[in-house]
Amino acid sequence: MVLQDKRRFAFFHKKSHVFFAVSILSTVLFFVVCSLLKTGSIGILDYLVLGNKDEWEFADFYRHIGYGSDLSRVYETSPDACFPPLSYLFFHFLYLLNPVQAAAVDWRAFRDAPYGRLSYLFCMMLLVLLFSYVAHRVAGMTEKTGLILSILLLTSAPFFTAIERGNPVFLTMILLLYALWWKESDNRYLREAALVFIAIAAGFKILPALYGLLYVREKRWKEAGRLLLYGILLFFVPFLLTGGREGFSSYIRLLLDSHYHADFM
């Protein structure tokens, strides 16, 4: 889908060469400055991207694979097991794909074991391809312009942090981009897929549920109702595999006790 009202992007298209030139120059300058200021193992790149905690690389990916290794005890393993249950079905699937399953209890050993990093590498390669494909379509850009924009975004500090930590926020963002692309499609199956993708995104992180307000604002009541139904099913049904009623109670307690962080959002 190309957004119907392209006039909102007219100014951007007219000034896009200036935007990209400044962005590319800023990106190159950023890496040059990082390389010049870096001393030992701690530098500005470490601070901006790693938070000077190199030992936590890919932690949000491998730790949650470990939490999801035993679905019946997901919310009993750690107070950091704070994602909705659908996300742990995904992490459990990745756990089953890896031949070193026994090491999942020690996420660093799991990460550093033979083939341990391949699961993350393949996931990230797929996500980058999906992101590059959809980004320019949502923004109504040409493929060439969209490719440049994708590269600039993927080399920015926020994206570096998301990639380095392995947080599912990148996956949920891509799901929402596809939902926005298909939301106004003439194909009713794609419009329905947009609803499912928003519900799945909310099943990984809670905040994407707010995208349902777009349908309410546009008074698309039937679609809003189906989205609510999909969201309820994808949020509650996975609890049947993640501890049932006890798992749900443990999850709620974790959310109430984990006010010091918002990873679950």
Mean pLDDT of 169-176: 92
The token pair that represents 23 in the structure block: 């962005």
- Per-residue pLDDT for 214 more than 70? yes
User: How sure is the predictor about 18, in pLDDT bands with cuts at 50, 70 and 90?
Assistant: low
Confidence of residue 59 (pLDDT cuts 50, 70, 90): confident
Q: How far is CA 209 from CA 68, 180, 201, 229, 232, in A?
A: 23, 13, 8, 12, 10
User: Is the predicted pLDDT of residue 199 greater than 70, yes or no?
Assistant: yes
Q: How would you class 171 by CB atoms within 10 Å of its CB: exposed for 0-12, middle for 13-18, buried for 19 or more?
A: buried
Model confidence at 6: pLDDT above 60? no
CA distances to 51, 160, 162 from 38, rounded to whole Å, are: 14, 17, 21
Nearest alpha carbon to residue 19 among 177, 131, 153, 157? 153
pLDDT of residue 54: 57
Q: How far is CA 128 from CA 6, 65, 87, 125, 147, in A?
A: 26, 21, 19, 5, 11
> Residue 209 in 3-state DSSP?
helix
CA distance 105 to 62: 10
- For the beta carbon of residue 207, count every other beta carbon within 10 angstroms: 14
pLDDT category, 228, cuts 50, 70, 90?
Answer: very high
Local structure of residue 205 (DSSP, 8 states): S
> What does the pLDDT average to over 1-23?
56
For the chain, the C-alpha Rg in angstroms (whole number) is 20
Instruction: Please give the angle made by the CA atoms of 124, 82 and 228, to the nearest 5 degrees.
Output: 85
Say which residue, 44 or 255, is predicted with more confidence. 255
- pLDDT (0 to 100) of residue 50: 55
How large a percentage of the chain has pLDDT more than 70?
Answer: 75
Is the pLDDT at 68 greater than 60, yes or no?
Answer: yes
Packed helices 85-97 and 188-204: angle between N→C axes, nearest 10 degrees? 90
CA-wise closest residue to 59 among 166, 180, 152: 166
Length of the chain (residues)? 265
Question: Distance (Å, rounded) from C-alpha 101 to C-alpha 116?
Answer: 10
Q: CA–CA separation, 258 vs 265, rounded Å? A: 11
pLDDT tens, position by position, 178-190: 999 999 899 999 9
Q: pLDDT tens for residues 79-98?
A: 888 899 999 999 999 888 87
Q: Cα–Cα distance between 211 and 195 in angstroms, integer?
A: 10
CA angle 134, 137, 138 (to 5 degrees): 85
User: CA–CA separation, 175 vs 172, rounded Å?
Assistant: 5
Mean pLDDT is highest, among 45-49, 53-57, 260-264, for 53-57
